Amino acid sequence: MTTPENALAGKSFAKTYFPSTRLAVSGLFLLNGTFAGAWAPKIPEFASRLGLTESGLGLMIMCFGIGSLILMPIAGILIAHYGTTRTVKGATILFLSTLLLLSLAPTIPLGAIAIFFFGGLMGAMDVAMNGNAVEVEKSMRRAIMSSCHAFWSLGAFIGATTGGFLMATLGVMGHAALLTVAGAAMLLFIWPRVLHDAPHPSEERQKVRLPMTPLPWLIGIMALFCMVPEGAILDWGALYMRDELGASLALSGFAFGAFSLTMAVMRFAGDHVRDRFGAVKTLRFCTVMAIIGMVVAGTAPNAYVAMVGFAICGIGISNMVPIAFSAAGNLPGFAQGVALSVTTVMGYSGSLFAPSVIGFIAEHTGFALIFALLPLLFIVVLLLSHHAVHADVRDRN
């Protein structure tokens, strides 16, 4: 039986741990991830419609990366001038139209423009929503970044797994229109609940420019070296299991599936772990787990052992990037948007561009050696892990 005291306690718990601002920024991550995941099943149709070869599709995907690298820093500058609220709302409105543009593009030049803005606005929204998550962390005085990234992973899973069915049922344009309308409706619900912030007075007086001190760049290296292996597993894990370990087509798909499943679960748990043990200890534990998982995957005698290795690696990588982003957003003496955009650009450049380099190297060495050597990047993260102390928000004034 519910008593007034229990109801009051429940409301207090919800207000403390799940205020509307946290739910709103989590919704932004879910929305961004859903659109990102929806792109994956559209790639074959996009390539077929424009008559792209594999190399042509590779150049198109490079346009996606270039768009991200150009618009992410611009988003950082806008955050420094106008705050995260206005920036994330503006970026989200523009981003909602990009799936329709990708579905309508009839020629290669228009397709390149569409994918440039799809990648660019996805990245701009990414920087802004991470910045808003940092502000929510500060207002709550507790970590939420890992769960926000968990919602992104959940959205990517939803977008990727429903895309093929929806395109087969509704057609390419029907799929894009449905997601656009659903995204707009979700944004209308989120809009008034997004944490309102403004540039900090100290940031307004700063001249917005690239940081001239090494700390933001060192945290950016941490994010970069966390996301290169993530991109390698996403793009090459299935091929490694199929071609070098003899896995079936169905089984090879579990390379990224096992990785993404453990990553999503651990991201939902990550904030509590970080609040309990601190960002530095959490990052170090995660990095060691990632090293173990990648070594197991790279030296695996069969596909099943490799799948276990990728799952362990997902446990490790899950909270490494969220901690790096929180650290960048909380760096003292830096305009938040600029420091965060440096880390975001460096991190995502690893997942956008490194896999193509890995593919070229693998033609000569095989993927097993690459996966076995990728832990060297994690060792660098381990050496830089003391900088994660800036991600702790409980004791900030």
Averaged over 345-352, what is the pLDDT? 78
The contacts of residue 169 (CB under 8 Å, 6+ apart) are none
pLDDT at 182 over 80: yes
- The rounded distance, in Å, linking the Cα atoms of 307 and 326 is 30
pLDDT at 187 over 70: yes
CB 236 within 8 A of CB 362: yes
- The rounded distance, in Å, linking the Cα atoms of 157 and 138 is 29
Between 345 and 27, whose confidence is greater? 27
Structure tokens that stand for 130 in this block: 């991470």
pLDDT at 239: 76
- The rounded distance, in Å, linking the Cα atoms of 46 and 52 is 8
pLDDT at 205: 47
- The rounded distance, in Å, linking the Cα atoms of 119 and 84 is 19
Averaged over 325-331, what is the pLDDT? 83
Residue 85: pLDDT band by 50, 70, 90 thresholds? very high
pLDDT at 397 over 50: no
pLDDT at 46 over 50: yes
pLDDT at 212: 66
Averaged over 7-32, what is the pLDDT? 77
Averaged over 165-177, what is the pLDDT? 90
pLDDT at 60: 82
CA distances from 8 to 22, 23, 143, 156, 194 (A): 20, 20, 24, 36, 25
pLDDT at 204: 47
Residue 181: pLDDT band by 50, 70, 90 thresholds? very high
pLDDT at 203 over 90: no
**Residue the block writes with tokens 């990414």:** 126
pLDDT at 132: 92
CB 165 within 8 A of CB 125: no
Cα-based angle 324, 290, 30 (whole degrees, multiple of 5): 55
pLDDT by residue (tens digit) across 212-258? 678 888 998 999 998 888 878 876 787 788 888 888 766 776 666 67
Averaged over 330-340, what is the pLDDT? 71
pLDDT at 375 over 50: yes
Average pLDDT, the chain: 84
CB 275 within 8 A of CB 144: no
Residue 282: pLDDT band by 50, 70, 90 thresholds? very high
Residue 2: pLDDT band by 50, 70, 90 thresholds? low
What is the distance between the terminal CA atoms of the chain, rounded to a whole angstrom?
Answer: 40
Burial of residue 189, with CB atoms counted within 10 A of its CB: 0-12 exposed, 13-18 middle, 19 or more buried: exposed
Per-residue HEC secondary structure of the chain comes to CCCHHHHHHHHHHHHHHCCHHHHHHHHHHHHHHHHHHHHHHHHHHHHHHHCCCHHHHHHHHHHHHHHHHHHHHHHHHHHHHHCHHHHHHHHHHHHCCHHHHHHHCCCHHHHHHHHHHHHHHHHHHHHHHHHHHHHHHHHHCCCCHHHHHHHHHHHHHHHHHHHHHHHHHHHHHHHHHHHHHHHHHHHHHHHHHCCCCCCCHHHHHCCCCCCCCHHHHHHHHHHHHHHHHHHHHHHHHHHHHHHCCCCCHHHHCHHHHHHHHHHHHHHHHHHHHHHHHCHHHHHHHHHHHHHHHHHHHHCCCCHHHHHHHHHHHHHHHCCHHHHHHHHHHCCCCCCHHHHHHHHHHHHHHHHHHHHHHHHHHHHHHCHHHHHHHCHHHHHHHHHHHHHHHHHCCCCCC
CB 89 within 8 A of CB 121: no
